[in-house]
Structure 1
């Protein structure tokens, strides 16, 4: 069911329920008021009958009947029955009055509690009347034709009014739903115009305060993220194509040259060495791209890992690759608790790879010593800093060095593919951490990594 139809249906049902509840209240209140008014009239008529007949001692049916016909005929179908002490019937206003119901309620009448009952539309009130120490029970009944006519008229008015109101409610619900959904329809029309080739377009954010505006703002933020992702993907593909094309072209050129010109075994072996070196470059680049894709996938089995062991392992890898470089390890502030220190939730292999990439970059672009600092930024956060005094990075390039396959202009002379920092950033983010880079051109760089510690 369309949202428009749901809104119309729910609005109609809600307002109709309120209207019917109000109509039922009005009808019930009017019916109760009619019953109370007529009961009071019957009670007054019974008391008047007692004063007129019992006090005067005129319980003669003929006398009272003639008297009533002349002066007291005030109720439609009025009937009066009087019982004396001992439950003896003393007076009837008509010989056709049935006493079956009166006899049922005769014993229930007390001075404090009159009785009231109805048979169809005929209503009866019975009360106790005391005179000269004797108790008389008087039943007066009648039909409230005017009251019932008014009640039926009210019922008809409410029925017709509710049917007419239902039509108006449906029309109001349609108008309400149409007006409420217009902003959403506008957003849908704008979104339909946005394609993969026009991600720079944005949805109108309206007043930027209501829920529809918040939806548009959220959608624009998503579009901005998609646009950035598409641009990163295009940049990644362009750089990857270039990086893969170069060693492949070199390999192809080496093999063609060897096939056409190598006449001796020594020349062939030299060509094979060059080809193998290019293949090694391809393998390294492919492994880097696969590692980056694995980090992007978000599939990370986590377990408590000792970060100091990951740092030590990365240092061993870096010393093996750059034996002439001075690598120093320093420890920062440590917690005072007795729990295991340097424990983080994550994957030891990925964390070791991330730290090794930072050390490899520092060794590659700095001839002086490289310092690794490990400590606690606070009780819940571990901090790793890698500092070198190498060539540094220009300010306008610092943001871009985390893009896959991007290399700073002053670092292209060194071997590499621009994947290390991008992979490290992905790994750190995958572990719920943060990474920052502070660099000054020709003075060196400091990379800081913050990771959440294992909760005690």
Structure 2
């Protein structure tokens, strides 16, 4: 069922229920009003006839004759007059006797002074009527034909109004739902036009303050993220293909040259060394791409624990020196012995943090003349701070701007081998841990990386 149909039915059902309750309430109030009005009319008629009889203005036979004659054409009121000791003085039609008075009724009238009651479709009253110092019991009963005819006419009118009103409500609800949901149809049509080849299209926001405007804004924001991710994926695939093509081409060329003719052992050995170097380059590139993929995980998918940055950096230093014997890494601990170790302890993943700091320190060593890096560990406020500095070539303003762009190689890229992955990977890992990373560099005066990670101390 479409939302338009569901809204129409719900709107119709709710309004129909309210409409039905209102019509029933009108009918019940009308019935109550008719009932009370007829009781007052009975009382008035009873007093009139009783007064005529007791004052001897009209004799009993005449009154009974008038009653019987009128009864043929109208719903005449049947009146009876009794003494307080239940002696009947007058009755309009004793043979018909609607009320059928008894001693219990007379006693009830004497006690309450006035009663109202129903006898089937008839209404009746009983009252104490004082006349010339004496009390009399007067009863009256009749059928409210005129009132019931009006009530039946009202009932028919209300039923017709309910049916007509319900039909109009359904039609109005359908068109109201159609008009209300028409913008959603437009949004759906616009969304269908957004394809891979036209992912830059966006939904038009007509009113940013209503719900549909908020929906369009949220959808456009989603499209922005998807477009960014899609473009990043295309760039990633393109760059990876390009980066892998070079070592693969070199490796293939070495194999082809080696197979062209017989060569000496030394020549084969040299060819194998070149192929080994190309294979290692590919391995480092693939490792960097895998680590980059891990850095794109959600924080909730990565195991975190307390990590002491001083111990982590000692491990990083040992790892770098083992791989590069000519590198020099100096660690400086700026906190005193009495300071809390938790000030340089953060919550993180040791493996990823190891990769990030290794890339940053190796970058210092690569581009400095003496292949050295000075690493300082300190804290400031809620942050543990690691500063890695070198006295190397430095970077231009343009290189600093694109330093963390994937596969970007700066103007001094010829000074050292690399693939443009390490800086991007380091930034992703630091941001994944809720930290900050900044670079300060001037050409000819070296480069400094400053990493801030929240510590666990309160």
Task: Tell me the residue number matched to 1:22.
Answer: 22
Matched-pair contact (CA < 8 Å) for 2:342–2:457? no
Distance 2:130 2:337 in 1: 100
Residue correspondences, number: 451
Q: What is the TM-score with the length of structure 1 in the denominator?
A: 0.84
Task: Tell me the residue number matched to 1:80.
Answer: 79
Task: Tell me the residue number matched to 1:150.
Answer: 150
* 436 and 70 in structure 1: CA distance in 2 versus 1, 3 angstrom threshold: same
Task: Tell me the residue number matched to 1:300.
Answer: 301
Following superposition of structure 1 onto structure 2, how do residues 181-192 of structure 1 map, counting pairs within 5 Å? 181-192=181-192
Task: Tell me the residue number matched to 1:242.
Answer: 242
* 302 and 263 in structure 1: CA distance in 2 versus 1, 3 angstrom threshold: closer
Distance 1:385 1:110 in 2: 108
The question of 1:92 aligning with 2:94 is answered no
Task: Tell me the residue number matched to 1:313.
Answer: 315
Could you say what the CA RMSD is over the residues aligned between the two structures, in angstroms?
A: 3.7
Aligned-pair distance for 1:329? 3.5
Aligned-pair distance for 1:236? 1.0
Task: Tell me the residue number matched to 2:224.
Answer: 224
Q: What is the TM-score with the length of structure 2 in the denominator?
A: 0.84
Distance 2:400 2:87 in 1: 114
* 384 and 109 in structure 1: CA distance in 2 versus 1, 3 angstrom threshold: farther
Matched-pair contact (CA < 8 Å) for 1:114–1:128? yes
Per-residue Cα deviation, 1:312-362 (whole angstroms, up to 9, x for no partner): 4334334444564343344579999x8955554442222222232222223
Task: Tell me the residue number matched to 1:373.
Answer: 377
* 85 and 73 in structure 1: CA distance in 2 versus 1, 3 angstrom threshold: farther
Task: Tell me the residue number matched to 1:10.
Answer: 10
Aligned-pair distance for 1:427? 2.8
Aligned-pair distance for 1:109? 3.9
* 77 and 191 in structure 1: CA distance in 2 versus 1, 3 angstrom threshold: same
Unaligned 5+ segments in structure 2 are: none
Per-residue Cα deviation, 1:77-99 (whole angstroms, up to 9, x for no partner): 31223443345555422111144
Task: Tell me the residue number matched to 1:358.
Answer: 360
Distance 2:126 2:392 in 1: 112
Matched-pair contact (CA < 8 Å) for 1:304–1:454? no
Following superposition of structure 1 onto structure 2, how do residues 416-455 of structure 1 map, counting pairs within 5 Å? 416-431=418-433, 433-442=434-443, 443-451=445-453
Matched-pair contact (CA < 8 Å) for 1:127–1:138? yes
Partner secondary structure for residue 198 of structure 2: coil
* 450 and 214 in structure 1: CA distance in 2 versus 1, 3 angstrom threshold: farther
Distance 1:211 1:12 in 2: 23
Partner secondary structure for residue 328 of structure 2: coil
Q: Which has the higher mean CA deviation after the structures are superposed, 262-271 or 216-225?
A: 262-271
* 440 and 75 in structure 1: CA distance in 2 versus 1, 3 angstrom threshold: farther
Q: Which runs of 4+ in 1 moved over 6 A?
A: 57-60, 67-75, 101-104, 332-336
Aligned-pair distance for 1:246? 1.2
Distance 1:167 1:390 in 2: 85
Aligned-pair distance for 1:169? 1.5
Matched-pair contact (CA < 8 Å) for 2:128–2:136? yes
* 409 and 24 in structure 1: CA distance in 2 versus 1, 3 angstrom threshold: farther
Distance 1:452 1:72 in 2: 102
Partner secondary structure for residue 197 of structure 1: helix
Unaligned 5+ segments in structure 1 are: none
Distance 1:334 1:209 in 2: 58
Matched-pair contact (CA < 8 Å) for 2:82–2:90? yes
Aligned-pair distance for 1:407? 2.6
Distance 1:171 1:205 in 2: 30
Task: Tell me the residue number matched to 2:175.
Answer: 175
